[in-house]
């Protein structure tokens, strides 16, 4: 039975585990054994993992795979991907190989601006507030010089501060809307530190502004926080080739494939029910690389899906067209990523992943991640519009089903061969396994 506990965070790791297994598991020893199986035998490395978050009881593993043969702007990459879903890495690899002989992927970073906001309430004359902001803006910049000094030396820092009137939405609500350049850092801590200093200076300076009444001087700071919506931190990735070069076999011509592919993308552009699944497939590729490189996939997901809804309806992140006999498939996507700071300098596998990618800058990583998303989308749409998604996906999922039924090595070998020519379904695998065992 569940029960409350006081001072849990102050317990040792072993005491935390004792309480968890005794409280929640029918077989406490078995649960404890499983938790300890995932500890790292290297005590120093385990301590590093324990200190990433709070109340750690074990490690949660995800497979780290690689997708080779990605030609991006004429440079070859092998892309690391951390993900649990079958067929994602295989699909990305297949797409990479397909486009390797057709010119590869072309990418460009369109912009890298990130946003933070100070949200505040002001009761008074808006014209007085505008006059105050004009006077205080240089002081806000000056107040953060100690924070921005190193970033500014490298070419980043605070780009601009705007006063935004949001009283149409909420009475007395205003913003300081701040744009930043954070270079190779994702920049969350940097941005939030700047914003909190802006808020402090803004409120303090208001107390001595001559035009304000006593009521107007009493500005209420609600919160200061970066935004994970980054529509001006954009990257583009594209593939293209002659329509006739799309054909790989005799089952469908390049022209027929291109036409059907474009139709599938058009449907995702206008039908939100399809667009959500379409974009989820893109995020299979993006999240896997974001996670492998120690970046914040939750922030990326939130920003990407907001961007997909920017025109008032949720729509496809990718686009396709046929122009003058040339097939084009592209994506423009907001990605706020970092290659310094956070886990990038702490997690040993993140360090290896970044080195595998030739130690990219944040801009280079944006391009690689966008390519992973586009490749994943191409592979999914290619399957959907030709053989159907299940044929390839379920074959990749076969090993998971066999493991679920605790198949041994010889059974796995026999059934892998069997399902090369048979359709994989959960029931079909169970029947074949039972027949083999009989």
Residues labelled catalytic: 85, 280, 296, 393
Query: DSSP for 175-217?
Result: EEEEEEE-TTB--HHHHHHHHHHHHHHHHHHHTT-TT--HHHH
The residue written with tokens 């800058």 in the block is 361
DSSP-based three-state secondary structure for 49: helix
DSSP-based three-state secondary structure for 242: strand
Q: Residue 40: which H helix or E strand, with range?
A: none
Which of 83, 70, 100, 80 minimizes the C-alpha distance to 280? 83
Distance CA 125, CA 127 (A): 5
Distance CA 100, CA 102 (A): 6
DSSP-based three-state secondary structure for 380: helix
In the numeric block, which tokens belong to residue 420?
A: 């090369």
In the numeric block, which tokens belong to residue 131?
A: 């006059």
C-beta atoms surrounding 437 within 10 Å: 10
């Amino acid at each position: 039975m569940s029960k409350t506990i006081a001072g849990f965070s102050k317990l040792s790791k072993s005491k935390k585990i004792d309480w968890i297994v005794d409280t929640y598991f029918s077989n406490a020893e078995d649960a404890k054994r499983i938790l300890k199986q995932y500890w790292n035998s290297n005590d120093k490395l385990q301590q590093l993992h324990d200190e990433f978050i709070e109340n750690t009881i074990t490690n949660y593993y995800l497979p780290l795979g690689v997708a080779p043969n990605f030609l991006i702007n004429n440079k070859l990459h092998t892309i690391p991907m951390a993900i649990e879903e079958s067929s994602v890495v295989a699909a990305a690899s297949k797409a990479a190989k397909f486009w390797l002989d057709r010119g590869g992927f072309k990418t460009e970073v369109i912009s890298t601006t990130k946003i933070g906001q100070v949200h505040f309430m002001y009761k008074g004359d808006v014209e007085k507030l505008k006059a105050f902001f004009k006077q205080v803006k240089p002081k806000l910049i000056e107040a953060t010089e100690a924070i921005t000094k190193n970033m500014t030396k490298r070419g980043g820092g605070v780009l601009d501060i705007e006063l935004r009137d949001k009283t149409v939405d909420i009475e007395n609500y205003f913003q300081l809307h701040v744009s930043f350049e954070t270079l190779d850092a994702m920049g969350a801590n940097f941005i939030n530190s700047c914003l909190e200093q802006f808020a402090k200076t803004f409120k303090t300076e208001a107390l001595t502004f001559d035009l304000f009444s006593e009521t107007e001087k009493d500005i209420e700071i609600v919160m200061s926080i970066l935004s994970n919506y980054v529509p001006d931190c954009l990257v583009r990735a594209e593939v293209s080739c002659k329509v006739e070069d799309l054909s790989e076999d005799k089952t469908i011509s390049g022209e027929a494939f291109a036409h059907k592919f474009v139709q599938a993308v058009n449907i995702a552009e206008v039908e939100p029910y399809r667009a959500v699944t379409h974009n989820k497939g893109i995020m299979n590729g993006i999240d896997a690389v974001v996670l492998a490189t120690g970046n914040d996939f939750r922030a990326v997901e939130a920003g990407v899906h907001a961007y997909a809804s920017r025109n008032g309806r949720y729509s496809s992140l990718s686009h396709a067209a046929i122009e003058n006999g040339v097939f084009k498939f592209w994506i423009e996507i907001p990605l706020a990523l970092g290659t310094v700071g956070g886990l990038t300098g702490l997690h040993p596998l993140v360090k290896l992943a970044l080195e595998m990618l030739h130690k990219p800058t944040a801009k280079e990583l944006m391009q690689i991640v966008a390519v992973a998303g586009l490749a994943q989308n191409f592979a999914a749409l290619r399957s959907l519009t030709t053989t159907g998604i299940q044929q390839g996906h379920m074959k990749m999922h076969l090993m998971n089903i066999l493991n679920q039924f605790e198949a041994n090595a010889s059974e796995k070998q026999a059934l892998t061969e069997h399902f090369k020519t048979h359709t994989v379904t959960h029931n079909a695998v169970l029947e074949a396994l039972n027949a083999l065992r009989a």
